[in-house]
Structure 1
């Protein structure tokens, strides 16, 4: 943890919530899980801590059009993303990253990265 970031009960509970699920979580999901450890944790505190943790590189934000913003612990490897269209949950596909042929990218396009998103539904 960067030296400027003070470790708090709330921040620890948020990090533990993210670690416990091993998938990106919506702020409300983070709050519900973190409240098991920190009963009085409010949603405003979750957002405030996520903002600080994001600035310090302790979490990453995942924004997919049409879905609520999710947060996860930083990933070393960018794996393809699974989106359940029934529940709106996001999961990591447990495979190596997909190779993408970037030879067709125009020379005046500054490539910054990519994500592979797979849409479907988990069967219950």
Structure 2
């Protein structure tokens, strides 16, 4: 998750709309959970799109750098991607099925600012992901 409210974060020029980027964007738009580059590549291949895995990785990294997708580390350490809302938010992720809920937390923001101020820091950014079991996986 990028800090869109932080100066300089996610503020790059829009990416060029290539055929491959449109295909990757469309694949991300249809998913509610975070997906790995390999998952996206597989979905594109099954849809008949000819996009190389290296192109998927490069495009996802460029989209993350531009603030167009959120990134989190999956349990195995692999990066996972999701298109999210443009406003600053955090994620609640089910460790079993990957279901993801966007959450906003003004109390988290106040706590972050307080900790930074108390320790003499400024221009602090943060990423918070809460991981647990969703209601379906808890059964």
TM-score (norm 2): 0.64
Tell me which of the two structures has the higher relative contact order, counting C-alpha pairs closer than 8 angstroms and 6 or more residues apart: 2
Unaligned ranges ≥5, structure 1: none
Aligned ranges for residues 1-124 of structure 1 at < 5 Å? 2=13, 5-63=15-73, 66-75=76-85, 76-84=87-95, 86-87=96-97, 89=98, 91-92=100-101, 96-98=103-105, 99-100=107-108, 102=111, 105=115, 107-108=118-119, 110=121, 111-120=124-133, 122-123=136-137
> In structure 1, the residue corresponding to 2:16 is in which secondary structure?
coil
Give the drift of 1:74: 4.3
Give the drift of 1:37: 4.1
> In structure 2, the residue corresponding to 1:105 is in which secondary structure?
helix
Range that drifts further, 5-14 or 104-113: 104-113
Give the drift of 1:41: 1.9
Output the CA distance in 2 between the equivalents of 1:36 and 1:109: 52
> In structure 2, the residue corresponding to 1:35 is in which secondary structure?
helix
Q: What is the RMSD computed on CA atoms of the aligned residues?
A: 3.2
> In structure 2, the residue corresponding to 1:92 is in which secondary structure?
strand
Give the drift of 1:13: 0.9
Output the CA distance in 2 between the equivalents of 1:47 and 1:12: 14
TM-score (norm 1): 0.70
**Counting helix residues as a fraction of each chain, which structure ranks higher?**
2
Count of residues in Structure 1 that have an aligned counterpart in Structure 2: 119
Output the CA distance in 2 between the equivalents of 1:77 and 1:118: 18
Contact 1:13-1:37 at 8 Å conserved across structures: no
> In structure 2, the residue corresponding to 1:15 is in which secondary structure?
helix
Range that drifts further, 38-47 or 7-16: 38-47
Output the CA distance in 2 between the equivalents of 1:37 and 1:6: 22
Unaligned ranges ≥5, structure 2: 1-12
